[in-house]
Structure 1
């Protein structure tokens, strides 16, 4: 039992049975692929592969199947690794009904990207650019613009992420360095900056007094003077309000059971909230900023005076007021940038596919149902609906909508496609309308975000860390899969794992 070889075999047996239980849930049905790559602590490129599928009870599941080492990150190499994994578990690439990746060219390339290579094997494997990743790109795009137009102010807030306040491991607040790929990091940084503003000023004053060199003192004094300006106070509160909206959207997009229709609606909600902020909440923002400035002895400017930029001579006054600068050039511009980015990024789902899925949504007693649009959606899945199935589907849809909307009251309180899938199974209607249920499953299979993959990467540091950085790839994968899929692993009996361990190779003694 203390032999490293025996321990690794036991770990492998645990992983084998965990994956077997997941595949049993899958039940040889269709599934979607969620794939991403990341470096581990030893700087080896790892590819995590997650399956999204509908289990026997109609629940949407996202499960880590494996994490594999890849030397070459070209699309063809990634495809080969994925297909080898599928073959290992006796799964066919033709069963893939959805793909979700980040925006890397090897994933999203329109000619030889991974999504196109898999589409050649399965025409119905529609690809989604990870919504959470797209949302992060809208933030990155805006932050780049801000660095150019408001560099002297916003950079102070970003640089402050390098400061650490307090001691010990139990601090409730901290300032994270803003990162382009860390979801929510910008919102947390700005929010904590506002909450800790007084403490930050004290830290900067201490740094200036205790500086070892004139350069360090000058830098601390520069940050201190910049922080004690109305411009910094205004930018902090504006960015917090804008990022609070997108932060809520981001958290919703990362839910495993999230469906594509709800995701698009959530994006629309975020757009409308930003528009309301732009049109109606200027006065409330100024009131918050003014209260903040009074509390921290920051001078509030006269908004009717001409604006003087810190980058131009004070003798060259601008031909617009301070009010115009903050309301039009800063407030409106930042919100307009965010709205434009959201409009540009979230457009990769084909109109016919999205409209068809929206028509299946049971919200408001199936008020959006349109049989023509649903039939058009079915045509986008040629591997699942041939000519004979299309005519049968149309007849089933006509009976189905009368049943669930007008006859069976058990379908009157549904809040989305996930609820619909579960209720169809609970009421046994999935067997009455098998082709309709197939359409519902195909709609749910389209992934929204690679959050499950990101969770796998977050868990990697607990398995492979600085003190244990030379693990073999098999041992690493064997530890990670049961660790991440604890709920599946906990249901596997020890006897099953022992049997798998015994069957792996001849043993001199029974475990």
Structure 2
């Protein structure tokens, strides 16, 4: 007996079958057997009537199907595509021929039947799973488009953050309300870009949740950029064979002590890099032990402990002290981390000590600095300088003391003209206020003071020598031997100044007259000035020996000077190679280098 397809669909629904089987069932069409066993018996007026199924119903109702095995009628589309419908024509089958007409008319008007007929008619032309896949593709495509747009907008925000950071510009404004004239560089720069960028403009006009302009978003972007940069630096440091570290401590605008951390290394392209890692607040504890903790933290985070070959700090004792300073503590754990002190900074500290050697010197430099500030305080005073003196009085700085030489030289050379300026101001007192006149009288007296002029001459000569040395050590970066020679020559020349004290005295006496107190002889005054002079010279000599002593052990740096390689091929630098062996012998194959 042939299998009844209706009975098979009732036991295993159409939806659970593979597509190939579904297509075969649909293409086979609805079953339309004669159903001879389907009849209905009814009584009317004492008579018995028997209704038999007529196959003409199949033609009348194109959706009607029959089961020869079950002798029942079914809705073929609903049987296939509406497995959730529990009506008789869909699940149990219909066999009441007396009410067949009413039953089929009610059924074919239902939504489920109409939907099933539509699905039956379109089956094979458009697959449901293909439609779902197409919807998924469209949804994914739309989602990707939104993601791409958001990434483009975010990329513009990141570019603005990087631009402001690179240009060292502030992000925020004083008042960032929408009605403010200026909402800060970040917001105003984004608004400017949006005028020429449709993508950014559309985002700013349509954004409801994330506009990208809030302070919190700015902070998040800054932190994200920082994290990416530090990760890139960390990756490069990890691949680098060596990594010196540099620390410096300074105070910010809030008078908090900030520790600056810098790492140096050679990137994979062979280029020397210097990267700033950040600030650390060390206001609470600025001891060498606390600084060592920060060094250890940085070395562990960037994996460069075993690569540490040098450490660079300022000249403060907490950093560079040989007994308990930071550089000594670090070398306890990393013996190859040689302490390198900037030669220019070392020379600056030499001059600082010289200036601070005596009370007279400290007063002298404060007065000279005040003189410079006096003329820079107003345009009218500057105009007098330009008119009478013909040049400006440069300003000094406490950070770079070699700049003070310009101030000292200028005051010494223009002393007579400056006196003319002060005389003019005093004679035309009606044009100036009383406070200024008092300052002018004081500075006029200072320029006529023997001690002030004597100090001008001393430091003019000393700064003349140290200026030459400063230019040399700034330009001869690799020729350590040459720098050591010039340091020694400068020290010798300064030491020779001890023999010229009489010359300085005579020079000053020819300009101004020494003032003697009651009961004081000229020899007594000369002896006191000689003592001050020797103190300044001796301080400079001793400080040069102390600050530049380590240069002798850094002779190997001159091996990096490629301009001397041809010379080295004829006259091999044994001293420099020995210096390298003493400092970093375990890192190099010295025999291979020598060849």
2:463 aligned with 1:243: yes
Contact 1:138 1:345 in 2 (8 A): yes
Secondary structure (helix, strand or coil) at the match of 1:47 reads: strand
CA deviation after TM superposition for structure 1 residue 151, in Å = 7.4
Counterparts in 2 of 1:127 and 1:272: CA distance versus 1, 3 Å: same
CA deviation after TM superposition for structure 1 residue 99, in Å = 0.8
Rg (Cα) greater in structure: 2
Supply the distance in 1 between the matched residues of 2:489 and 2:257 (Cα, whole angstroms). Answer: 37
Supply the distance in 2 between the matched residues of 1:151 and 1:382 (Cα, whole angstroms). Answer: 46
Secondary structure (helix, strand or coil) at the match of 2:262 reads: strand
Deviations 1:400-425 (A, max 9, x none): xxxxxxxxxxxxxxxxxxxxxxxxxx
Q: How does 1:114-125 map to 2 (within 5 A)?
A: 114-125=326-337
Contact 2:244 2:310 in 1 (8 A): yes
Map of 2:275 onto structure 1: 63
2:588 aligned with 1:381: no
Supply the distance in 1 between the matched residues of 2:479 and 2:227 (Cα, whole angstroms). Answer: 30
Contact 2:426 2:440 in 1 (8 A): yes
Unaligned stretches of 5+ in structure 2?
A: 1-211, 383-390
2:368 aligned with 1:189: no
Q: Which of these residues, 64, 75, 91, is aligned with residue 288 of structure 2?
A: 75
Supply the distance in 1 between the matched residues of 2:457 and 2:341 (Cα, whole angstroms). Answer: 31
Supply the distance in 2 between the matched residues of 1:121 and 1:259 (Cα, whole angstroms). Answer: 30
Contact 2:479 2:557 in 1 (8 A): no
Deviations 1:94-133 (A, max 9, x none): 2110011123232234454321232122110011344333
Q: Which of these residues, 251, 261, 264, is aligned with residue 484 of structure 2?
A: 264
Counterparts in 2 of 1:253 and 1:37: CA distance versus 1, 3 Å: farther
Counterparts in 2 of 1:190 and 1:43: CA distance versus 1, 3 Å: same
Q: How does 1:179-218 map to 2 (within 5 A)?
A: 179=398, 181-194=399-412, 197=415, 198-199=417-418, 202-203=421-422, 206=425, 209=429, 210=432, 212=434
Deviations 1:69-116 (A, max 9, x none): 234222232222233233333x23221100111232322344543212
CA deviation after TM superposition for structure 1 residue 12, in Å = 2.8
Q: Which of these residues, 342, 348, 364, is aligned with residue 550 of structure 2?
A: 348
Supply the distance in 2 between the matched residues of 1:315 and 1:78 (Cα, whole angstroms). Answer: 53
2:237 aligned with 1:7: no
2:586 aligned with 1:397: no
Q: Which of these residues, 57, 74, 84, is aligned with residue 297 of structure 2?
A: 84
Secondary structure (helix, strand or coil) at the match of 2:263 reads: strand
Map of 2:61 onto structure 1: none
Map of 2:312 onto structure 1: 100
CA deviation after TM superposition for structure 1 residue 20, in Å = 4.5
Secondary structure (helix, strand or coil) at the match of 2:306 reads: helix
Q: Which of these residues, 429, 447, 470, is aligned with residue 227 of structure 1?
A: 447
Supply the distance in 2 between the matched residues of 1:10 and 1:204 (Cα, whole angstroms). Answer: 61
Counterparts in 2 of 1:311 and 1:154: CA distance versus 1, 3 Å: farther
Deviations 1:376-433 (A, max 9, x none): 6324336536xxxxxx532x1342xxxxxxxxxxxxxxxxxxxxxxxxxxxxxxxxxx
Deviations 1:37-59 (A, max 9, x none): 11110122211112233344555
2:395 aligned with 1:176: yes
Contact 1:52 1:60 in 2 (8 A): yes
**Count, aligned residues:** 366
2:528 aligned with 1:310: no
Counterparts in 2 of 1:156 and 1:114: CA distance versus 1, 3 Å: closer
CA deviation after TM superposition for structure 1 residue 13, in Å = 3.4
Q: How does 1:465-480 map to 2 (within 5 A)?
A: none
Contact 1:174 1:192 in 2 (8 A): yes
Deviations 1:297-325 (A, max 9, x none): x9646xxxxxx8535447734289x8x99
CA deviation after TM superposition for structure 1 residue 329, in Å = 6.8
Counterparts in 2 of 1:207 and 1:102: CA distance versus 1, 3 Å: farther
Provide the TM-score with structure 2 as the length reference: 0.50
Q: How does 1:10-25 map to 2 (within 5 A)?
A: 10-23=221-234
Q: Which has the higher contact order (CA 8 A, sep 6+)?
A: 1
Secondary structure (helix, strand or coil) at the match of 2:572 reads: coil
Secondary structure (helix, strand or coil) at the match of 1:31 reads: coil
Supply the distance in 2 between the matched residues of 1:59 and 1:226 (Cα, whole angstroms). Answer: 54
Map of 1:160 onto structure 2: 371
Counterparts in 2 of 1:165 and 1:370: CA distance versus 1, 3 Å: closer
Counterparts in 2 of 1:31 and 1:266: CA distance versus 1, 3 Å: farther
Contact 1:154 1:232 in 2 (8 A): no
